[in-house]
Amino acid sequence: MSGTTDKIKGMANEAAGNVKQGVGKMTGSEKLQAEGLAQEAKGEAQQTMGEVKNQASKAADTVKKQF
């Protein structure tokens, strides 16, 4: 999976997590709030992984150009 794909999936998970948290707050569901928080954290981690992959790819390209 490419870094860009990870970042997109991460953004989607983060957004869905935020929605779950909001619905959980409105309905008083602590379980839904917790699920939303976990999904948001997963999304943030996916975005970070995507950024790391992109940076690693750029670094590899730089090294290839030198040789």
Q: Is the CB of residue 1 less than 8 Å from the CB of residue 50?
A: no
For residue 66, which phi and psi values (nearest 5 degrees)?
-80, -20
Task: Express each pLDDT in 13-67 by its tens digit.
Answer: 999 999 999 999 999 999 999 999 999 999 999 999 999 999 999 998 888 888 7
Prediction pTM value: 0.83
Q: How many CA atoms lie within 13 A of 48 on its CB side?
A: 6
- List the domain range (segments joined by +) for residue 53: 3-66
State how many domains the chain has: 1
Q: Which of 17, 8, 6, 12 is nearest to 39 (CA)?
A: 17
Rounded Cα distance between 1 and 52, Å, is 12
Helix locations, 1-67, DSSP H: 3-27, 30-66
